[in-house]
Amino acid sequence: MELRINHRIGDGIVDVIYFNDFDIDLKFDSVASTFSFKALFDPYNKVHAELYCVSHFHEATLIHEGETLISGFLLSQGFSHGSVKEMTELAGYSKPGVLEDCEIPPTLYPLQSDGLTLTQIAQKLAAPFRLKVVVDDSVASEMNKVIPKSTASETQNIKSYLTELATQRHIVMTHTPEGYLLFTKAKTKLKPIAHFEEGTAGTTFKMSFNGQGIHSHITVVKQASDDGGNAAEYTIRNPYCPVAYVYRPKVVTQSSGDDITIEEFGKQQLANELKNIKFVINTDRWKIDGKIIRPNNIITIFCPEIFVYKKIELFIESVKLKGNSQEATAELVCVLPEVYNGEMPKNVFVDSHENLPRLKRP
């Protein structure tokens, strides 16, 4: 693992930083991935004093075997002193992470945008931070449609505002390893990159179902618009709360300004509820077929111990890479593909254990 600060890499003396116990959290549905590590700090080494300098927000790049993982900034330092020499703690995130920490600067006012595309709005807001905006071909047509009018709030951070506009168009706002702001779609139709099942050496599984965030019926109520548009109502069923067992209704309001149909808005609310179903896979390897495991990929799993009685597909939402001098592990946080692909889900748990008599205990 290489850590490059301010685009410099050492020759063995000047710019090399020796570090250990690092965590790298690669995220899909986020404007930034994060990293943290512990490094040796010599306060009397001029180069160390410069590279570790508090409040300098140095650029940092993490590279593993020639593959860039994160391009971002060092945000925080933690120093300590005691009878035993301790390592310094450093942490940071991808370059677009600044959009989550900052509101729209007054220099870009007015907050209302008329007749601009989402691409133009994103480029306008990213420009002061010297961020490059990348639009994937899969969403180019939606990104380049004119938005008649949109207005941000003075207290709304930039990431929140852009996410609001992107979500209405089934677009995911994320980032690239190079530190660009990326608009794209989830790759839920690709061939699975791996299969995991109970008994796999060096691998553990967890599944959590948070029923408090799941509702049987989601009803969307749309307000009448100022230009005479009619009010409307639409109800969508959540198969992960079968009405035969329990009744848990929810009502949400779609404002007249939302640029999607009431049915599409309902599907988005359902997709959000599916995030209450999480799968976590911990494994003792970082790579599959010679490549680092990354988010925005599909895997398959089979593990009756976590109530997965049949082989199912999952979408990798984030990957946490951990390492020290003794080991390197990866934690995959996965969700159902329907969280991102806009399709109506089928309950993978109900009646999946009907073939239990045909299963053999390992």
pLDDT at res. 226: 61
Is residue 162 within a helix (H) or strand (E), and if so which, with residue range? helix 158-167
The pairing of beta strand 181-184 with beta strand 133-135: parallel
Is residue 49 within a helix (H) or strand (E), and if so which, with residue range? helix 46-51
Residue recorded with tokens 């599907």: 267
CA dist., res. 88 & res. 299, Å (int): 37
Residue recorded with tokens 């209450």: 276
The pairing of beta strand 249-254 with beta strand 2-5: unpaired
- The answer to whether 270 touches 277, Cβ cutoff 8 Å, is no
Amino acid present at 307: F
* pLDDT over 70 at 284, yes or no: yes
pLDDT at res. 228: 54
pLDDT at res. 18: 61
| Residues 240-261: tens digit of each pLDDT | 998 777 899 999 998 755 667 8
CA dist., res. 113 & res. 111, Å (int): 7
Confidence of residue 5 (pLDDT cuts 50, 70, 90): confident
What percentage of the chain exceeds 90 in pLDDT? 65
Q: Which of 103-117, 182-196, 314-328 has the lowest mean pLDDT?
A: 314-328
37: which strand partners? 90
Residue recorded with tokens 């996410």: 163
Averaged pLDDT for residues 340-347 = 92
Confidence of residue 352 (pLDDT cuts 50, 70, 90): low
| Residues 34-83: tens digit of each pLDDT | 999 888 888 888 878 888 888 888 899 998 888 999 999 999 999 998 88
pLDDT at res. 30: 96
pLDDT at res. 227: 59
The pairing of beta strand 88-94 with beta strand 277-283: unpaired
Q: Which of 45-49, 189-193, 213-217 has the lowest mean pLDDT?
A: 45-49
What is the three-class DSSP state of 22? strand
**In whole numbers, what is the pLDDT of the chain averaged over residues?**
89
Structure pTM? 0.89
Measure Cα distances from 29 to 94, 248, 275 in Å.
13, 28, 12
CA dist., res. 278 & res. 312, Å (int): 13
pLDDT at res. 9: 47
pLDDT at res. 101: 97
Structure tokens at 319: 């990957």
pLDDT at res. 7: 59
- Residue 100 phi, psi (nearest 5): -85, -15
* pLDDT over 50 at 2, yes or no: yes
Q: CA torsion sign, 166 to 169 to 174 to 178?
A: negative
313: which strand partners? 300
Confidence of residue 307 (pLDDT cuts 50, 70, 90): very high
Q: Which of 53, 66, 62 is nearest to 32 (CA)?
A: 62
CA dist., res. 288 & res. 284, Å (int): 11
If one counts every other C-beta atom within 10 angstroms of the C-beta of residue 286, the result is 18
